Structures are given as C-alpha cells and as structure tokens.
C-alpha cells in the first residue's frame, strides 16, 4: 500500500507547460468569439447541405420537389409513381451526404489527433488557424458549386481538403484545449460548458438564419454569408494581440510530432490501470453518442422533408434551430444551476437519459408538433461532451492536455466517419419500409454508456477510498516520526 501511495504522490510532481507571461488570462472572453463565428458558418452548411443535395439529386431525375406552405417538399399528387421517385431521391440524397461526410471525416481522423497533440509543443494558435482557413476555402467551393451548378464531386474534393486541415473537430478540440490552459480545476467544467453552449447556440441561430436567407434569396447568397463568417473567425485568430498564445513554441515540428505520438502512447498504454479505464470509457462515451445521436441530425432533416411531415425548407430551418438551441439552454442550466448539485458523472447520466428520450420520441413522432417535442426533449443531450472533456482534463497533467483532447477528438472524428457508413446505409435500405428503424436502433445503443458511467463511478469511489487510506497512513507515519 505504501508503494502505491508514493507512486500516486510522484505522479503529481510534474513540470508544467512553459506558459508565456500574461497568457493565463483571467478574461471571461478569449477563444469564444472565434468559436462563435466558426460555428455560425458551420451551421449554415449543416442547415443547407441536405436541401442543396436533395435539390441537386431531384434535378438529375428531372423532378422538381415542391416547397410550399401547405405541402412542404411533398407532392400534392399522391400517385404511386411520384411517391416511389421521392423515396428514391431521399435514398440517393442520404448517400451523397454520406460521401461528403466521409470525405471530410476520413483525413480529420488523423489530423485531429496529430495536430491537437502537437499543439503542446508548437502552440495552440496553429491548431486553431489551420482548420479555420480550411473552412474558409471550403465555403468558397460551396459558393462556386451553387453559382455554376457544378457536380457534387467538387464538394467532395473540398471537403477532403478541409479534413486534411483538421476540420471542425480539430477546431473545437483546440478551443477546449485553450480553455483548459487558462482555467483551474475549480472553474474548468463551467468554462467548458459555456464554450459548448456558445458552440451549440451559434450553430442553432445560424440554422434559423440560413432558412430565412434561403427563403428570401438563394443558395449562393447563403453560402456567401457563411464564407464571410468564416473569414471573421480566421481574422480574429490571426491577430496575435487579440488571442494570446498559451504555449511557448519549441520550434522543431518533427520533434513536436514525435513528442505528441509518444504522449498518446503513454496515455493509452503506460498510464496506471485506473486512469486508463476511465480514459477508455470517456472515449467510448464520446464515440457512441456522437455516432448514434449527434450524427442523426442530417438524417432527421431528410426524414422530416418526406411524408407525413413534408417540412418546407423554412420549417426545416425552425426544426434544426430547436434541435440545436434547446441543448444550448440545457448547457446553460448545467453550468449555472445543475453543476452546483450534480458532479460530472451525474451530468453524464442526465445527458444519456435526454439523448434516449430525444431519439425515442423522434422515432414515435407522426406529427410536426411531436417532432418538435422530441427535439425539445434533447435539451440535456449535449452535456456529455463538456462533462467528458472536463473529467479527462482534470485527471491529466498540464503538459498532457493536447494529447488528451486529441484522443477525444479522434473518437469524435471516428464517430463522424463511421456514422454515415452505418446509419445512412441503414436509412437508405429501410426508408421505403420502416424509415424510423435507424432512430430506434440509435436509441438502443445509447443505453450502453449508462452502464459504462456506473462502472466509472464505482472505480472513482474505489480510487477516492485509496487516496483517503494513503492520507491516513501518511498521517500515522508522521505521528510516529514526531513521537
């Protein structure tokens, strides 16, 4: 037992990151404006890509989807031939969305892990600027594609290039690494939740704005607005006197890559057993929820465009806004109220319950009202991400933050990569028979993290008891020495 106590004490003795003077700012606003601008632009693409792709596929079939107040995107004529064609358009649209997602997610699997880990050596701003510039380039390609009616293959190429630069996963991961650098363990969870709230609220607001812009103008103008927002995020990050660097750049990029890879290996294979168990479970939760809950947003958008809902593009914008703004409200409640009465583990339980309710009610919905109720029941479903990040960050050393968040970002990227391969193909295969099957399946899988959280709570209790025993043992030894 004494050997374990000494081992635990040694693990707390570390050399912290070389932080430049003034970088550990106590400002309440640091990276949040850049996160807000970036996610406003991202929200435009989330809101519009399903409609744009579906419209493009319908033109290939020489069919124009109606889009009016009474019938939305469903045909007034309920003839069997039009119904079959609309189902075919939905299936092909889901496949094209899958191709776009995979093109973006596949390269970001590795770039997120490597660049986030390298930020421990080369600096945080590098890991923020790269994906921001990649998004700006991607938005420009969306504008050109919509303006000149280019094939969707151009979008696939631009999404792949964006993934090589880290995509949104690297950007979000780097934002939370930066927040971890400038906070203490006492206020870290609250600041991470606030950052997550900015992420979701701006994405949700942009969903509504995108619907209005598309309703009044066209896709070109909507994508141009998104490009302008991306440019504002890039400018904010590029100006060095606005966002201070929190890590001294050691200069040698090759050495930084080797150090980052070594740090990842230490986290995943060489840490003590208790740490690794908790770390594996946190990554499992991140992977499961992002794959089977958060990644269903595009599928739900397509599903509600069809019968019996027949959402118009404007109503679809309202729905996706509710889908993202309600979790932002839940995050605010979590940061300002629930955090006072619940620890990170119970916040995870609440998030899982909200996720299962959201998926279940969405699958049961047969009316527009119930569809919106399902979205509202997901009010706490996004708390899992800041809770996982907070637990992982607080149990790790300062010089490990990049590797820790890089691994969590890898789990996120892996989920985003695999989700369309699994879920979109299931939806395409069942859309004509049981379109809600995919949502029922996701709800069932999201029950598994609840078991993992209980196991993690049990392990945490055991570790706390060991630390208490070590503390009592040390006190006895000191008493004996003094006597």
- For 285, half-sphere exposure in the C-beta direction (CA atoms, 13 angstrom radius) is 31
Read off the pLDDT of residues 426-439 as tens digits, 9 standing for 90 and up: 888 888 888 899 99
Domain membership of residue 21 (yes or no) is no
Cα separation, 144 vs 322, whole angstroms: 30
Domain membership of residue 458 (yes or no) is yes
Other Cβ atoms closer than 10 A to 442: 28
Amino acid 304: pLDDT = 84
Domain membership of residue 19 (yes or no) is no
Domain membership of residue 121 (yes or no) is yes
The region of weakest confidence among 45-54, 173-182, 219-228 is: 45-54
Specify which residues 68 forms β-bridges with. Answer: 72
Cα separation, 98 vs 80, whole angstroms: 27
Cα separation, 120 vs 259, whole angstroms: 9
Domain membership of residue 18 (yes or no) is no
Average per-residue pLDDT in the chain?
A: 82
Instruction: Give residue 265's domain range.
Output: 28-245+252-476
Instruction: Write down how long the chain is.
Output: 483
CATH code, 441: 1.20.1250.20
Residue that the structure tokens 């706390």 belong to = 464
Cα separation, 438 vs 299, whole angstroms: 9
Cα separation, 211 vs 229, whole angstroms: 16
Cα separation, 19 vs 3, whole angstroms: 33
Q: How big is the CA angle at 62 (ends 59 and 65), to the nearest 5 degrees?
A: 65
Read off the pLDDT of residues 80-110 as tens digits, 9 standing for 90 and up: 566 677 778 877 887 888 899 889 988 988 8
Q: Provide the sign of the torsion angle of the four alpha carbons 434, 438, 443, 445, taken in this order.
A: positive
Amino acid 253: pLDDT = 66
Read off the pLDDT of residues 237-267 as tens digits, 9 standing for 90 and up: 998 788 888 877 655 667 767 777 787 888 8
Q: Are 234 and 125 in contact (CB under 8 A)?
A: no
Please give the tally of structural domains in the chain: 1
Read off the pLDDT of residues 24-55 as tens digits, 9 standing for 90 and up: 555 667 899 999 999 999 988 877 887 888 88
Specify which residues 72 forms β-bridges with. Answer: 68
DSSP state of 68: B
Amino acid 162: pLDDT = 95
Domain membership of residue 1 (yes or no) is no
Q: Are 162 and 104 in contact (CB under 8 A)?
A: yes
Domain membership of residue 5 (yes or no) is no
Domain membership of residue 313 (yes or no) is yes
Read off the pLDDT of residues 378-435 as tens digits, 9 standing for 90 and up: 999 989 998 899 899 888 888 788 889 889 988 988 888 888 788 888 888 888 888 8
43-68 burial string, b = 16+ CB within 10 Å, else e? bbbbbbbbbbbbbbbbeeeeeebebe
Q: How big is the CA angle at 47 (ends 45 and 53), to the nearest 5 degrees?
A: 75
Cα separation values, 18 from 73, 253, 303, 399, 401, Å:
57, 17, 51, 9, 13
DSSP state of 413: H
């Amino acid at each position: 037992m004494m050997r374990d106590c000494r081992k635990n004490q040694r693990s707390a003795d570390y050399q912290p990151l070389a932080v430049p003077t003034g970088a550990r700012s106590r400002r309440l606003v640091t990276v949040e404006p850049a996160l807000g601008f970036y996610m406003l632009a991202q929200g435009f693409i989330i809101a519009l890509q399903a409609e744009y792709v579906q419209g493009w596929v319908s033109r290939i079939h020489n069919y124009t989807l109606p889009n009016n107040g009474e019938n939305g995107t469903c045909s007034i004529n309920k003839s069997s031939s039009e119904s079959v064609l609309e189902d075919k358009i939905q299936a092909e649209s889901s496949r094209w969305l899958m191709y776009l997602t995979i093109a973006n997610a596949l390269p970001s699997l590795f770039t997120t892990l490597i660049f986030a880990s390298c930020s421990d050596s080369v600096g945080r701003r590098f890991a923020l600027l790269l994906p921001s510039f990649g998004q700006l380039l991607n938005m420009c390609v969306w504008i050109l594609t919509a303006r000149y009616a280019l094939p969707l293959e151009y979008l696939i190429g631009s999404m792949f290039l964006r993934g090589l630069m880290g995509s949104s996963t690297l950007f979000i991961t780097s934002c939370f690494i930066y927040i971890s650098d400038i906070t203490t363990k006492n206020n870290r969870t609250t600041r991470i939740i606030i950052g997550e709230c900015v992420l979701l609220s701006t994405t949700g607001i942009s969903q509504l704005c995108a619907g209005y812009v598309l309703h009044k103008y066209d896709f070109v103008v909507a994508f141009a607005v998104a490009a302008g927002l991306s440019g504002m995020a890039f400018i904010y990050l590029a100006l060095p006197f606005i966002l201070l660097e929190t890590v001294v750049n050691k200069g040698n990029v090759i050495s930084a890559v080797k150090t980052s890879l070594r740090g990842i290996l230490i986290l995943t294979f060489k840490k003590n057993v208790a740490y690794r168990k908790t770390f594996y479970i946190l990554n499992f939760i991140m992977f499961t929820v992002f794959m089977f809950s958060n990644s269903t947003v595009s599928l739900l958008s397509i599903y509600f465009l069809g019968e019996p809902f027949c959402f118009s593009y404007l109503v679809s914008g309202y729905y996706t806004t509710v889908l993202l703004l309600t979790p932002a409200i839940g995050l605010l409640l979590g940061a300002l109220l629930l955090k006072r009465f619940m620890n990170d583990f119970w916040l995870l339980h609440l998030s899982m319950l909200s996720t299962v309710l959201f998926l279940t009610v969405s699958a049961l919905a047969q009316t527009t009202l119930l569809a919106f109720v399902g979205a509202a029941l997901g009010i706490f479903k996004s708390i899992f991400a800041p809770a996982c990040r907070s637990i992982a960050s607080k149990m790790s050393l300062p010089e490990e933050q990049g590797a820790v968040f890089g691994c969590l970002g890898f789990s996120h990227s892996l989920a985003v990569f695999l989700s369309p391969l699994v879920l979109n193909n299931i939806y395409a295969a069942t859309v004509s028979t049981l379109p809600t099957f995919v949502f029922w399946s996701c709800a069932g899988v999201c029950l598994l993290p609840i078991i993992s959280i209980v196991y993690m709570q049990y392990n945490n209790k055991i570790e706390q008891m060991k630390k208490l025993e070590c503390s009592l043992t040390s006190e006895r030894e000191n008493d004996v020495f003094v006597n």
